[in-house]
Amino acid sequence: MKRRNIFRSYNAVLGLVFLVFLAFGVSSVIVMIRSDGFVPIGEILDRQQTDAILFNSPLSSPYNHKITLHKKRAAKIVAIGSSRSMQFREKAFSESFTNLGGVISDIGYSELFIHKMIKEHKPEIIIWAVDYQDFFEAPRPGRPWRIEDDHNIFAPLGLAGNGVFEWKSYWKLLLNGEVIENFPIKLMGLSAKVEGNGFDEDGSMYYFGTSYDSLGEGGIVYTDSREKLYQSILETTIQGDRINTPRPWALESFKSIIDYAESENVIIIPVLVPSAPMVMEIMDEGPETFRLGLDQLREQLPRLSPYFADFVDPREYGSDECEFLDGYHGGEVTYLRIVLGLSDMPGSPLKPYVRRDLIKRLIKEYENEVQITEGEIGSQFKNARRIQFSPTCGDI
């Protein structure tokens, strides 16, 4: 009898533990519902055609989103790459354009993605935003994206548990259905709701959540201090855990992507994307190893591709610190400068498709700014116009 009571108490505690787990599980389902996690991606993209909506997938893993968008829009020009490609926008082009950026973060992944993307729809031109850091890392094995996660009802719990976003946001979403109150644009998808940043209908990213929050609470601004940037460069060069010459596997992968696109009759333009002027200055002033790998890369890549554009140093084309979101992400104006530069290249295949006059006007009007506050989305954030992300903006 006594032993039976022991087991009963033991199981009662286990039951209570289970109820705690269950409560968390149920809360995750509610958060998933409240963040549009069950709305099919096709439906969201359709709604974006008519309404001003910023969307970022429930799991911030935009593979499924971008492939669906690619099939749906079947654009003539596409941009691909990491988060450093997401500021290329449709308005810069006179032909159909889709931004498929944000999915890949490694040369090996780029190879996988380009194969999949061309299989779904063959564009005429691919603008491939290339991160120079990727050439100095060991290859990452495995599959970079997890499509099945989009349907995982426990994903919100997982993201909060893994520290991808704060528990405070989780509870706000659970209780109120919104994290940022009175946001001027409709937000869909967990990541968009939590951060206030999201993809527009052309697949490009808007960071007005950052501006909006800084307007409201003065919270999020350009976080990369000179010291932090110095440290990050230190860690990514020979002093840290990486090598200072481009890895052969990465160069081979790069070449294989170029050859594949060529075999598919697709023009691919690799673009070495920029780091902020402050980063370039630190690299110039620091030890020789800071620039060694980058300089080698700038020399080697043009030999591997018929088209190649080097926009790594924004000082060379007049983009200053104030036009950067952070040390490694240029803002809208920087990317307009890049598009203009791409069309100016001798024999540029993009030239007929670039809206040069519009770009020139926007650059003139929004020079030294991060974001353009006109158009369907931008005009909702007029107050954010003079937001400067960099603490050193204006001093350089």
Partner 1 sequence: MLFNSLEFLLIFLPVTFFGFLMAVRHSRVLGLGWLVCASLFFYGWWNPVYVWLIIGSMVVNYCLGWALCRQRSVYVLSAGVGLNLATLGYYKYIGLFSETLNQLADAQMGFQDVVLPLAISFFTFQQISYLVDAYNGKVDVSHWVEYALFVTFFPQLIAGPIVRHSEIMPQFLKGRLGPREKDIAIGVSVFAVGLFKKVVIADTLATYASPIFGVAAKGVEITFLDSWGGVLAYSLQIYFDFSGYSDMAIGLGRLFGFRLPINFFSPYKSLNIIEFWRRWHITLSRFLKEYLYYPLGGNQGGHTRQFASIMIVMLLGGLWHGAGWGFLLWGGMHGVFIVVNHAWQNLVRTMGWQPGRWLGLWHVLSFSLTFLCITVAWVLFRADNLDAAMNIYRGMAGLDGRFVLPATYENLLSPIVSSLGLTFVRFDAIMYFEGMRQVGYLAAILFVALILPNTQEWMSRWRACLEPIPIPRGTFTRMLLWRPSMVHLLVVVTILFVAASQMFEPTEFLYFQF
Q: Which positions lie near partner 1, rule CB under 8 A? A: 3-4, 6-8, 10-11, 13-14, 17-18, 21-22, 25, 28, 108, 138-142, 152-154, 157-159, 161-162, 238, 242-244, 249
Q: Cβ 253 to partner 1, closest distance in Å?
A: 9
- Kindly tell me which of 71 and 242 has the beta carbon lying closer to partner 1: 242
Q: Provide the phi-psi class of 8: left if phi over 0, else alpha when psi is between -120 and 50, else beta.
A: alpha
Torsion of CA 241, 251, 338, 202, to 10 degrees: -90
Q: To the nearest whole angstrom, how small is the minimum distance from the Cβ of residue 279 to partner 1?
A: 22
What is the largest distance, in Å, between two alpha-carbon atoms of the chain? 91
Q: Which is nearer to partner 1, 162 or 182 (CB)?
A: 162
The nearest distance, CB 230 to partner 1, in angstroms, is: 20
313 CB neighbour count, 10 Å cutoff = 18
Of residues 8 and 303, the one with the C-beta less far from partner 1: 8
If the CB atoms of residues 180 and 243 are measured against partner 1, the closer one turns out to be: 243
Nearer to partner 1, 180 or 238 (CB): 238
Is the CB of 17 or the CB of 74 nearer to partner 1? 17
Smallest gap from Cβ 247 to partner 1, in A, equals: 8
The least distance separating partner 1 from the CB of residue 280, rounded to whole angstroms, comes to 23
Location of structure tokens 């527009």:
200
Residue type, 267: I
> Is 47 in contact with 292 (CB distance < 8 Å)?
no
Integer Cα distance of 97 and 86 in angstroms: 12
Going by C-alpha positions, the residue among 133, 374, 137 that lies closest to residue 247 is 137
- For the CB of residue 251, give the shortest distance to partner 1 in the complex, in Å: 13
Straight-line distance from the first to the last Cα atom of the chain, in angstroms, rounded to the nearest whole number: 81
**3-class SS of residue 79:** strand
Contact 61, 191 (CB under 8 A): no
